[in-house]
A and B are shown apart, each in its own frame.
Chain A
């Protein structure tokens, strides 16, 4: 049996409201709030990036697992905003945890699916018996071009999951994936901001792949929506995950625990992983959880987890996700946000 033995999330404290962005660009804030169900988003501080947030989330995961970090045999960070073009984020993370030198690492990139892919590989290495513990992290400080629709959602956060074969908090019951070559969102080499194909990112991209992976895993597991206590889907906004949940037969109650995007924004590789941490914070023994990621390009990974009797014993050992999202926030004006995100061209 393989499963999650530790988990953690990190969400920066800075926020910007949809109204503040819309005011700058002369856009209609109520239409964004109504249409995409977005209220505000997280903003990384100038000294935060994918690496720093991965370290914090992973430290919480190690704390909940109660293991010696030196026994982690693989560290994978999935992100589309790795701080270096060449030099792995995983090296810094592994060093900060004390997992070096005997740890495999390489960075993953698959738009918003890189985190779940890292989780899958980490889980697979443990299941194969190649390593004792493995860490999969989804983290991003995502960028949206100024004035673009993405700017209202592109946010920052990290979710980390330690996999092992003993003292399991959430057993992995089933996995599946659904992937095609679909150019709905991309960023070319040396480009600062990503490009997207507008409404093409919806039906043939997000919905096709999310539904494909979800239906595939439900068929493999012989399960239906009624068999789950919770479901978490990739959340580029507040609307898509609710709609895809409804299409699969999930109620709003099953989806809303892991639905963070209305006040968090889209943390890209961190999105469904952080949603999963919010569910693990409150799940009870025996609860089944469906997680389906989505990454443009395009593909979805699906996992079915079942919470064990150990989960409630560790939920309070590290900061929970909802309080990080709801408490201790600092709101930014657009000018400070633009400065924080490097959107202002300066002299020299």
Chain B
């Protein structure tokens, strides 16, 4: 991940900042310029809740090279309280014990190291609640 792209995504990755449409109340994450529900263009900045449940998940055994030391690991679609869905790694668990509907919460974790000399990328992951 390039520094510039990582930097642009900091509000979402660090603070889970979403855009709540001033017209219809729909919450977009990541934020959008135009509301997908009502086409409104005015938004209020809101932070997403840190709790939710697993909607579905998969366990990765053959990962992309930067993540080869982490296998097996789980990637889940998590519905946060309030309805916004995120895709997140689920850590601090045995992936074989996860269940659909299981409560999870977000924690601040290191997402990636760019080689031995590049930047460290941080953001949210989920852990069992």
Contacts and interface: CB of A to CB of B under 8 A. Distances in A.
Interface stretch (A91-99, A223-231, A257-265): A91-99
Nearest to B127: A13
Given A13-B92, A51-B122, A96-B122, A46 B108 contact: no
Nearest to B108: A55
Contacts of B107: 52, 56
Contact of B91 (A47, A55, A56, A84): A47
B92 A52 contact: no
B111 interface: yes
**Which residue of B10, B69, B108, B111 has the most chain A CB atoms within 10 A of its CB atom?**
B108
B39 interface: no
Contact of B110 (A52, A56, A95, A96): A52
Contact of B69 (A14, A46, A52, A56): A46
A13 B128 CA distance: 11
A84 B118 CA distance: 10
Nearest to A14: B92
B92 A45 contact: yes
B26 interface: no
B14 A95 contact: yes
B69 A84 contact: no
Contacts of B91: 45, 47
Interface in B4-38: 10, 14-15
Contacts of B122: 51-52, 92, 96
B31 to A, nearest CB: 16
A193 interface: no
A47 B15 contact: no
Interface in A40-66: 45-49, 51-52, 55-56, 59
B105 to A, nearest CB: 10
B125 interface: yes
Interface in B90-129: 91-92, 107-111, 120, 122, 125
B44 interface: no
Given A83-B120, A84-B120, A47 B14 contact: no
Given A13-B92, A83-B120, A48 B109 contact: yes
A330 interface: yes
Contacts of A48: 109-110
Contacts of A59: 108
Given A96-B15, A339-B69, A49 B110 contact: yes
A95 B121 CA distance: 13
A13 B39 CA distance: 45
Nearest to B7: A95
Interface string A20-55: 000000000000000000000000011111011001
A17 B71 CA distance: 24
Contacts of A96: 14-15, 108, 122
Nearest to A55: B108
A176 B120 CA distance: 37
Given A47-B91, A51-B108, 8 more contacts: A47-B109, A47-B110, A47-B111, A49-B110, A52-B107, A52-B110, A92-B122, A96-B14
21 contacts: A45-B91, A46-B69, A46-B110, A47-B91, A47-B109, A47-B125, A48-B109, A48-B110, A49-B110, A51-B108, A51-B122, A52-B110, A56-B107, A56-B108, A83-B110, A83-B120, A95-B14, A96-B15, A96-B108, A96-B122, A330-B92
Interface of A: 13-14, 45-49, 51-52, 55-56, 59, 83-84, 92, 95-96, 98, 330, 339
